[in-house]
């Protein structure tokens, strides 16, 4: 069913899955892609999955990467593309919410692997182990032989955040696909599509703020879009930052500009403003880093110096000294970078 149809209508087709009661579903679920074609970003890897889906001979795979970038979704799309109508009988999904100790591997997974089901010709049963990095090493060990013995009828698809938590022998049996964080442009495109489908009133600054706060995590971007929309009815920069509760990058930007001009009083006032709003030193310093990194108007050399200073401050804060004085010292050092040496002489 899924494998054949293509085209832009797919997304709107998914949109019709709204629950009958009329309650608002979380948009992340409502717009969870069902076709590999609808997955945004990581094009090379998704192309590889499409080839696998057409070919039918799926290897054991591990998809690893950050949260919210489409790993679980991709595996389900792949299983749909491979099995179509037989998805229900042909797929066993176990995630971190299921018991996945050695017993389950011995009993549930083994008995599913042994079970005979009718599938389209040339297709295999698929066992999806989502969040596989939370499986104990013992349970993973128990999988080793099972994966081999039943590999003519059953293939494994694992998703995890950290592939190093998967034991080496399992890694060596699988093709490892790494998903990277989604690019800003990719998240933006998707958000724009959702805005159109859900008729969300927004401006460009609002969408940029969503992208800034999500840091390449599509799930977070969509969730924040929905929260801002239902909370304020309009997606603007200020509303997004009220929902996301992060130090406002505009304030941080002003602070850095003040440092560049050597206006320490102004810069300190901005830091005080954020501190008084209750943000922690880590929140502030990470936002300062991200804003500095993205400021195109800063000369390259200056940016390097700034990032080095911010890095030192971040380290000291993580070591335990997350005080206003620490942030003030950072501001002082940033101001000092651009001050002419003559003005530093007493
Ligand atoms: N690449 C993507 N294209 C389109 N939508 C996406 C993409 N990535 C995530 N989403 C949206 O975010 C939701 C969550 O994605 P998914 O469950 O695949 O994340 P994940 O990578 O498995 O994260 P986790 O590591 O937390 O399990 C999806 O329902 C979908 O709406
Ligand atoms: Mg997942």
pLDDT tens, residue by residue, 251-267: 999 999 999 999 999 99
Ligand 1 atom 30, closest CA:
32
Centre of ligand 2 to C-alpha 65, Å, is: 10
Q: Is the predicted pLDDT of residue 236 greater than 60, yes or no?
A: yes
* Residue ranges near ligand 2 (ion) with Cβ within 5 Å: 72
Q: Is the predicted pLDDT of residue 334 greater than 90, yes or no?
A: yes
| Structural domains in the chain, sorted by start | 27-178 (3.40.50.300), 185-244 (1.10.8.60), 249-338 (1.20.272.10)
Centre of ligand 2 to C-alpha 159, Å, is: 7
Tokens 């679980």 correspond to 72
Q: Is the CB of 27 under 6 A from ligand 1?
A: no
Centre of ligand 1 to C-alpha 68, Å, is: 4
Q: Is the CB of 156 under 6 A from ligand 1?
A: no
Q: Is the CB of 32 under 6 A from ligand 1?
A: yes
Centre of ligand 2 to C-alpha 130, Å, is: 6
Percent of the chain with pLDDT over 90: 67
pLDDT of 178-194, one tens digit each? 999 999 999 999 999 99
As a whole number of angstroms, the distance between CA 304 and CA 336 comes to 14
Predicted pLDDT at 32: 93
User: Closest ligand 1 atom to the C-alpha of 219?
Assistant: 12
pLDDT of 158-177, one tens digit each? 999 998 999 999 999 999 99
Residues in the chain: 346
Confidence of residue 21 (pLDDT cuts 50, 70, 90): low
User: Closest ligand 1 atom to the C-alpha of 71?
Assistant: 21
pTM of the model: 0.83
Q: Is the CB of 77 under 6 A from ligand 1?
A: no
Predicted pLDDT at 16: 42
Q: Is the CB of 139 under 6 A from ligand 1?
A: no
Centre of ligand 1 to C-alpha 222, Å, is: 10
């Amino acid at each position: 069913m899924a494998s054949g149809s293509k085209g832009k209508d797919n997304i709107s087709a998914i949109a019709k899955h709204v629950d009958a009661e009329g309650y608002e579903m979380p948009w992340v679920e409502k717009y969870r892609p069902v076709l590999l074609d609808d997955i945004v970003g990581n094009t090379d890897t998704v192309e590889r999955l499409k080839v696998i889906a057409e070919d039918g001979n799926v290897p054991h795979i591990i998809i690893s990467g950050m949260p919210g970038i489409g790993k679980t979704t991709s595996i389900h799309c792949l299983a749909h593309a491979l099995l179509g109508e037989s998805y229900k009988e042909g797929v066993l999904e176990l995630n971190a919410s299921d018991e996945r100790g050695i017993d389950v591997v011995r009993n549930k997974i083994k008995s599913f692997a042994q079970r005979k089901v009718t599938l389209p010709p040339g297709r295999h049963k698929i066992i999806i182990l989502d969040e596989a990095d939370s499986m104990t090493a013992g349970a993973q060990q128990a999988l080793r032989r099972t994966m081999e013995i039943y590999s003519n009828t059953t293939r494994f698809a694992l998703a995890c955040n950290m592939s190093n938590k998967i034991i080496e022998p399992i890694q060596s049996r699988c093709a490892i696909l790494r998903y990277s964080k989604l690019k800003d442009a990719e998240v933006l495109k998707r958000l724009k599509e959702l805005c159109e489908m859900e008729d969300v009133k927004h401006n460009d600054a609002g969408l940029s703020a969503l992208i800034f706060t999500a840091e390449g995590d599509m799930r977070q971007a969509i969730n924040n879009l929905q929260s801002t929309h239902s909370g304020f009815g309009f997606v603007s920069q200020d509303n997004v930052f009220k929902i996301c509760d992060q130090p406002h990058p505009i304030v941080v930007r002003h602070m850095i500009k003040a440092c560049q001009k050597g206006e320490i009083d102004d810069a300190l006032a901005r830091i005080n403003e954020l501190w008084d709003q209750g943000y922690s030193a880590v929140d502030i310093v990470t936002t300062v880093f991200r804003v500095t990194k993205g400021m195109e108007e800063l000369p390259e050399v200056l940016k390097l110096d700034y990032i080095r200073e911010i890095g030192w401050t971040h380290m000291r804060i993580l070591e335990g000294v997350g005080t206003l004085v620490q942030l003030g010292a950072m501001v002082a050092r940033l101001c000092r970078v651009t001050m002419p040496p003559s003005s530093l002489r007493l």
